[in-house]
Structures are given as structure tokens and as C-alpha cells.
Amino acid sequence: MLAKKNTVAKIDGILNVNKPTDRTSQDVVSYVKHLTKQRHVGHAGTLDPIATGVLPVCLGQATRMSSFIMESHKTYIAEIKLGISTNTYDREGTVTSNRDPSYITKAQVIELLPTLTGTVMQKPPSFSALKLHGKRLYELARSGIEVETAPREVTIYRMELLQWNHPSMSIEVECSKGTYIRSIAHDIGQSLGCGAHIAALIRTKYGPFSIEDSISLTQIEDAFSHNLWQRLIYPMDIVINDWTAVTVTPEQEHAILDGRTIPNSIENATPRCRAYSCDGWFLAILKQSPDKATWHPEKVFHSY
């Protein structure tokens, strides 16, 4: 008698994980992959090892939505310690300078922060996950190879002082993709002339995901062990809820599945739209043609 094949339900959705300090972002992905038995699992944007907070983890076809999540605004609360600079710009690095910050006042910080907001050219830390010739920069840095990182354009939408407890302070930062909060801390220290580094970092919001609704690894484990995981999974289209939505006919659905264009009859539509089948299945992401006359399938999602 043949053994019954063990089947695992396929999951297409997103978990809003509250990453702990004792795990890397990839550790969290590996843990979720082990719990869920899913083949395709990935996170949407690395958090530093010392950082905690919102880490969207995508499962199944939702992994194809990670690029859209990464376009979202992010909000952080950072604890910054003045007077000490490190090579990693955070508490885990080697101290590179130690200066007396006693002359720095709260008023100076409040005056400084607005000058660091807006669209700025930011230099990423040498210890970062960026790649050069296939190697992570932090791997090169740990090997003693110094790499001069090129400044990149990022947008700091808002930066506010939350707490002042000299020589430490807490700031809240809302920013675009590609922003390094460690670099912001370093730049604050340089601007004040005393040096600074990140002592603690929490990501509190990332697109539609907030820390108030995030879940711990223990909660995920408990939910999957009791087959209650459905209540934790966000639909993969949640990250593009502000796009135009269209419901297509069965004939148009077949065209989309075949990779063919369909007519666009919607005025003032967003450049991309989310398309749904008649039964409500999130079918595809469609991209508008330059003349706005048609929609072309960019990403197609299949039902099982």
C-alpha cells in the first residue's frame, strides 16, 4: 500500500512580524519558513541585528509584492547616544572617537533636526548589506577592506525629538526607502561636533504595517501549531490598496492569464492597477500603456 502523500496548504500572504533583537532578518525568515513549511518566504527590507519592530514577511506569491512594500514610507524611533562614534554607527561597533558632549543643548538639537530633513544625499555606512562585486559591504569591512560608499538620494519626511536625556536622546524619523537611520545618527554627531551612534532602534511603521498590530515569533509558532494562522495573514494586495481597482470579465481574465492586454476605460487611473476576477480573486497587477488606452499584465497571480 502506497503511503499517503503529505500535503501542505499553500499560503499567499504577509505576516507583520515584530523582529526581536536576538535575531537577524534572515533568521526570522528561516524560522517562519520552518514553521509554515512554505517553499517561498522572504522579508521586505532588512532590519539591522540590533533593531526591533516591523518586519513584513511574505509567503508564497506574496514574495512578488516585496518590491512594492519597499517603496513605502517607514517610521523609526531611534535612541542616539552623543559623544561616542563607532565604525558601524551603532552600539555594536568599534569605538572610533570619544568626545565630551556636555556642551550640547536640547535647543541645539531641536534647531539641527529640520536642517537634516527633505531630499538629501546620504552616505550609507561601510557596515551595510549593500553589495560590491557580489560581496556585502559588512563582509568586506570585517575583512579589513575599506570601501568608500557613494552618497545616495533619500528623503527624510519628518524628524522629531521625542526625549532628551543628555547624553542620550530619542528621535522619530519618517523616511523613504534606502534611508539608513545609523547614518542619520552619525550625521547628527558630526554636525554637533561630538560624534554619536545608535544605541537602540525600533521600526514602528512600514507602509500599511504598524508595530501595534505586529506579532512575535512565539505568537506565530502558537498560531501555526493550533492551525489558527489564517487570522495573522494579511492579503498580499494590502500594500497597493491606494491603487485603482478593476474587476475584469471572464474573457479579460483569460487574456490576462495569457499575458495579453485589455482595454482601459477608467479615467484618471493610477499608472498601475490591481485587477480582480469576477469571484474576487486578486488576479494581477496591470500597467497602463503610455497612451493610457490599455492595461498590460505586469504580475499575474494564480489561484490553486
Nearest in space to 169 (alpha carbons), one of 194, 196, 204, 203: 196
Cell numbers for 41: 518566504
Confidence (pTM): 0.90
∠ Cα 251 257 262 (to 5°): 55
Nearest in space to 238 (alpha carbons), one of 276, 214, 209: 209
pLDDT in 10s for each residue of the chain, 304 residues: 444 444 678 999 999 999 999 899 999 999 999 999 999 999 998 998 899 999 999 999 999 999 999 999 999 999 999 999 998 899 998 899 999 999 999 999 999 999 999 999 998 887 655 554 555 555 544 555 566 667 889 999 999 999 999 999 999 999 999 999 999 999 999 999 999 999 999 999 999 999 999 999 999 999 999 999 999 999 999 999 999 999 999 999 999 999 999 999 899 999 999 999 999 999 999 999 999 999 999 999 988 6
Q: Which residues contact 221 (CB under 8 A, 6 or more apart)?
A: 35
Domain edges within the chain: 13-71+209-237, 74-205, 243-300
Question: What is 74-205's CATH topology?
Answer: Pseudouridine synthase (3.30.2350)
User: 279 an active-site residue?
Assistant: no
What's domain 243-300's superfamily in CATH? PUA domain (2.30.130.10)
Going along 41-183, which residue ranges are E strands? 41-43, 52-59, 74-82, 84-86, 95-98, 118-122, 131-132, 135-136, 152-165, 168-175
Query: What is the CATH number that goes with domain 13-71+209-237?
Result: 3.30.2350.10
Of the listed 48, 90, 187, 237, which one is catalytic? 48
Identical fold for domains 13-71+209-237 and 74-205, yes or no, is: yes
Residue 117, classed as helix, strand or coil, is coil
pLDDT of residue 140: 45
